[in-house]
Amino acid sequence: MFKKVIILLGALIVLSLQVKASNSELFTKANEYYKKGAFDTAVVCYESIVKSGQESAELYFNLGNSYFKLKQNARAIVNFERAHKLSPEDEAISANLELANALLTDKINVLPEFFLNKWYKKVLCIYTADKWAKISISAFIFTFVLLLVYFFSRFILLKKISFWFAVIALGVSATSLSMAYKQEQLYISEKSAIVITASVTVKGSPDEAGTDLFVIHDGLKVEIIDQVGNWRNIKLPDGNKGWLKLSDIEVI
C-alpha cells in the first residue's frame, strides 16, 4: 500500500512538472504572437494556461493587454483587476487598469469614504499578504538579533540603542503580520465582478419579471453582496443595488 502511494505521488509530481513545462512553452509562444500582432491567437494561448489552473500577475497582465488590443475592454479590465489583486504594487498594471477604466461608458461617482479608512485600505493594499508576511518575518529576525546584542554587549550605549530598535522592529513585525492577515481576509472575502454584457438592465428582484431599476454597461466593476440561483445581488460604487444574471458578469 505504501509503495502504491509513493508511486502515485511520484506520478502526480511528474505530471505537474510536465504541465508547468508545457505552460511555460505556451506562455513564450503567446508572447511571441502578441509581439507579432496576432492578439486573438495570443488570447487563446493565455486562456489555455489559465484554464489549466496556473495563474500569475504577469499572465493576467499579458492577457489583459491582448484583450485591450482586440478592443474587448471589459475582458481587459477583468484580467487587469486579477493581475492587480496578485501584485497591487505593480505600477504598469495600475496604469493599464486606469487607462481601461477611462474608456468606460458609465461614469459613476464613488460614495465618499472616511479619510482614515480610505488611507488604511490604501496602505493595506500596497503589498500582497505574502509580502507583508515576509516583512514580518524579517523584522522578527532583526528583533532577535538586536536582543542578542542587548544581552551580550558590554557597552551601555549600544545596549540602549539595540533595545529600543528591537522594540521598534518588534512593532513593525507585529503590524506587518496584522497587515498580512487583513490582506488575506480581504482577498478571500472580497467578491467583485466586472460587467461583461454590452448593456444590461439591473432588476429589482432575482427574476426576469423584476422591476427595471437602471441600465449599466460592460466594464463596470460591481460588488457581489448576495446570490439566488443564477442571479447575483450587486452593489455599484455609488451605493445603488440590484440584481443581475451571473452570465452578465465575470467574477474577478
Q: What is the pLDDT of residues 89-124, one digit of tens each?
A: 899 999 999 999 999 989 887 767 677 777 877 787
**Which band of pLDDT confidence, cut at 50, 70 and 90, is reported for residue 9?**
very low
Mean pLDDT calculated for residue range 139-143: 95
- Per-residue pLDDT tens over the stretch 174-206: 999 999 888 777 666 568 999 999 999 999 999
Q: How confident is the model at residue 234 (pLDDT cuts 50, 70, 90)?
A: very high
Q: What are 62-90's pLDDT values in tens digits? A: 999 999 999 999 999 999 999 998 888 89
Q: Can you give the residue ranges of every domain in the chain?
A: 2-101, 115-189, 192-251
Predicted pLDDT at 7: 37
Query: Strand 192-195's sheet: what is its strand order?
Result: 212-217, 199-203, 241-245, 231-235, 221-228, 192-195, 249-251
Position 165: which residue type? F
Most distant CA pair in the chain: distance in Å? 81
- Any idea which architecture 192-251 has in CATH? Roll (2.30)
Q: Give the pLDDT confidence score for residue 109 in this predicted structure.
A: 78
Q: Residue 117 has what pLDDT?
A: 75
Alpha carbon distance 135, 143 (integer Å): 12
Across the chain, mean pLDDT equals 87
Q: If pLDDT is split at 50, 70 and 90, which confidence band does 128 have?
A: confident
Where does the pLDDT of residue 18 fall: very low under 50, low under 70, confident under 90, or very high at 90 and above? Answer: very low
- Which amino acid is it at 136? S
Long-range contacts of 113-119 (CB under 8 A, 24+ apart): none
199-228 residue pLDDT tens: 999 999 999 999 999 999 999 999 999 999
Q: Which residue has the cell 457581489?
A: 224
Q: Taking the complete model, does pTM exceed 0.75, yes or no? A: no
What pLDDT is recorded for position 113? 66
Fold annotation for 2-101: 1.25.40
Tell me the three cell numbers of residue 77. Answer: 479590465
> What does the pLDDT average to over 126-139?
90
Reported as a single tens digit per residue, the pLDDT across 157-180 is: 999 999 999 999 999 999 999 998
In angstroms, the CA 177 to CA 95 distance is: 29
* Average pLDDT estimate for 42-70: 95
**Can you list the alpha helix ranges (DSSP code H) found in 87-128?**
91-101, 115-124
3-class SS of residue 117: helix
